[in-house]
């Protein structure tokens, strides 16, 4: 591609010289000028297409070779994914507080208000909770894998993604939002980042394989899309919200746009696009 970029100015100069000669001597045939102009246009299109292809191929970690240490951080994507995680946590907290206590095991701590309850729960420190096996050793690790994938899909390596899931699960959830309802859980502090991190790296490998096959599983893109969503819901949902495709594009995909407009007929941020 670089050789074409270097040749392009030469072609333009040649075209200018021949065009000037034709204006002065009126000897150059029009077909030659048209052919040379077409060559320049073709060169411009070719250079632009190759530059676009290069930029598209390097914009996602799923286009890189697999590595535990390779780090290609996309901070904007991580911020977007973090917003999605925080929004999901807030909604989950609201729902859990409205459910009966025997379903959530969220015991109300002593305190005049939720802030005093949070302070008392954090001050007393972690405790072994009474949640069942499914909650402690399946759902919490799955949540950790989702947090891990939010960072891994944003280009961060395995170790930084592990730090991310540890921070989110420990300080944002256990000592953060969940502490408004109950004391931090020792099981959750261990299972969410550690088992979740291992599960998340497995999700990452599986998603790489699916993306490499154009999201096709059993020759069906719907199944592939569904599996990718289950393994990396935050990245996939935020990609829809912000109208971005995080992975290598395929112009043969089916795309369906869902524009949501305001009273002035202008598109809003709620608009989204689905690719099949």
Cβ neighbors of 155 (< 8 A, separation 6 or more) are: 60, 61, 71, 72, 73, 74, 77
Mean pLDDT computed over every residue of the chain: 77
> How many whole angstroms separate alpha carbon 108 and alpha carbon 249?
50
With contact defined as beta carbons under 8 Å apart, do 135 and 188 qualify? no
Query: Which pLDDT score is estimated for 103?
Result: 66
Cβ neighbors of 22 (< 8 A, separation 6 or more) are: 28, 33
pLDDT in tens, 15-70: 444 444 444 444 445 444 444 444 444 444 444 444 443 444 445 788 888 999 99
> How many whole angstroms separate alpha carbon 64 and alpha carbon 62?
5
CA distances from 217 to 145, 203, 210, 232 (A): 21, 15, 7, 16
Q: pTM here?
A: 0.68
Query: Which pLDDT score is estimated for 18?
Result: 44
- Burial class of residue 182 (count of CB atoms within 10 Å of its CB; 0-12, 13-18, 19+): buried
Cβ neighbors of 153 (< 8 A, separation 6 or more) are: 61, 62, 77, 81, 204, 207, 232, 235, 246
CA distances from 94 to 119, 140, 189 (A): 19, 18, 21
> Among 49-53, 151-155, 183-187, 219-223, which is the least confidently predicted range?
49-53
Query: Which pLDDT score is estimated for 43?
Result: 45
95 falls in which pLDDT band (50, 70, 90)?
Answer: confident
Q: Is the pLDDT of residue 179 over 60?
A: yes
Cβ neighbors of 14 (< 8 A, separation 6 or more) are: 36
> Among 39-53, 91-105, 156-170, 184-198, which is the least confidently predicted range?
39-53
Which of 38-52, 73-87, 251-265 has the highest mean predicted lDDT (pLDDT)?
73-87
pLDDT in tens, 106-156: 665 555 678 888 999 999 999 999 889 999 999 999 999 999 999 999 999
Mean pLDDT confidence for 151-163: 96
């Amino acid at each position: 591609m670089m050789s074409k970029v270097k040749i392009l100015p030469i072609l333009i100069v040649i075209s200018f010289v021949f065009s000037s000669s034709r204006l002065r001597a009126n000897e150059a045939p029009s077909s030659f000028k048209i052919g040379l102009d077409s060559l320049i246009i073709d060169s411009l299109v070719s250079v632009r297409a190759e530059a676009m292809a290069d930029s598209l191929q390097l914009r996602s970690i799923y286009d890189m070779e697999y590595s535990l240490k390779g780090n290609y951080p996309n901070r904007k994507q991580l911020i977007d994914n973090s917003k999605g995680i925080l929004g999901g946590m807030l909604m989950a907290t609201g729902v859990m507080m409205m459910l009966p206590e025997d379903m959530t095991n969220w015991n109300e701590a002593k305190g005049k208000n939720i802030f005093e309850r949070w302070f008392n729960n954090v001050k007393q420190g972690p405790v072994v909770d009474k949640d069942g096996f499914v909650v402690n050793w399946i759902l919490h690790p799955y949540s950790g894998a989702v947090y891990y994938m939010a960072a891994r899909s944003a280009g961060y390596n395995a170790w930084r993604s592990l730090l991310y899931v540890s921070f989110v699960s420990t300080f944002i959830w256990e000592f953060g939002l969940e502490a408004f309802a109950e004391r931090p859980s020792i099981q959750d502090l261990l299972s969410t980042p550690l088992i979740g991190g291992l599960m998340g790296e497995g999700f990452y490998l599986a998603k790489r394989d699916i993306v490499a096959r154009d999201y096709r599983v059993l020759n069906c893109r719907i199944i592939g899309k569904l599996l990718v969503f289950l393994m990396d819901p935050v990245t996939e949902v935020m990609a829809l919200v912000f109208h971005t495709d995080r992975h290598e594009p395929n112009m043969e995909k089916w795309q369906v746009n869902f524009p949501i407009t305001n009273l002035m007929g202008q598109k809003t941020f709620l608009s989204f696009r689905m690719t099949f």
